[in-house]
Structure 1
Amino acid sequence: MNMAMQQFKAEFFKALAHPLRIRILEILADGNKSVNEIQQLAESEGSAVSQQLTVLRSKNIVTGSKEGNRVIYSLRDPMIIDLLDVAKKIFNNQLSETITILDRLNEDEK
């Protein structure tokens, strides 16, 4: 694979590497939202949400468009939703494997 693509992927995943950014993307997966709506749904301070939206915008992961005096945010590419779903499945698979290992260890101790 070409180095430019690897660099792009590394930067892309760095942009996702924050729990509030992931939460914002999950919120936007349900539809376009204003900053105030995102703040309420994320149960986070305005400055933190704005800061994370700035990172997501700078990496072209979300877009913002003006509607009157509000900015409405949306996912730039709906495939982000698929990516988050795959990440959740990977997490669930790893968790299931860990539970299986723990169950076996508990059985061996009996």
Structure 2
Amino acid sequence: MQLIEIDTKVKFLRGFADKTRIQILEALMDEEKTVSQIVEAINGNQSNISQHLACLKGCGIIVGRQEGRYCYYRIRNQQVRELLNMFNVVLADVQNDVACCDSHID
């Protein structure tokens, strides 16, 4: 197994560290969507969503494909989808501790 640098791991994990980005990922769990469909699904604004999509794409978490004048976004692969599902599994066990956590180190 290839060793991944700590800084790379941190950058990747920061891709998940935003409420809007998590909402986008949840909207993409079952199927690919256009920006407009994502905006509608999470009740956001297009400019903000586009910035978050660029972040997720830059971190390798999602991919986009152009079809005519629309760009469709989807979760990159099954491993990322499984990681998102694993977040839910782990959080089901520790959610009370996480909800009470006041110590966030940047």
Percentage of matched positions with identical amino acids: 27
Quote the residue 1:70 is aligned against. 70
The equivalent of 2:53 in structure 1 is: 53
Cα pair distance change 1:97/1:38, threshold 3 Å: closer
Q: Which has the larger radius of gyration?
A: 1
TM-score, normalising length: structure 1: 0.77
Question: Would you say how many aligned residue pairs link Structure 1 and Structure 2?
Answer: 97
Counterpart residue type for residue 81 of structure 2: I
Misfit runs of 4+, over 3 Å:
95-98
Offset of 1:57 from its aligned partner?
Answer: 1.0
Instruction: Tell me which residue corresponds to 1:105.
Output: none
Question: For residues 58 and 97 of structure 1, do their structure 2 counterparts lie closer, same or farther at Cα, with a shift above 3 Å needed?
Answer: closer
- 5 Å matches for 1:37-52? 37-52=37-52
- Between Structure 1 and Structure 2, the one with more helix by share is 1
Matched, 1:34 2:34: yes
Runs of 5+ unmatched residues, structure 2: 99-106
Aligned-residue CA RMSD (Å): 2.0
Structure 1, unaligned stretches of length 5 or more?
Answer: 99-110
Q: TM-score, normalised by structure 2?
A: 0.80
Which deviates the most, 31-40 or 76-85?
A: 76-85
The 5 A counterparts of 1:7-22 are: 7-22=7-22
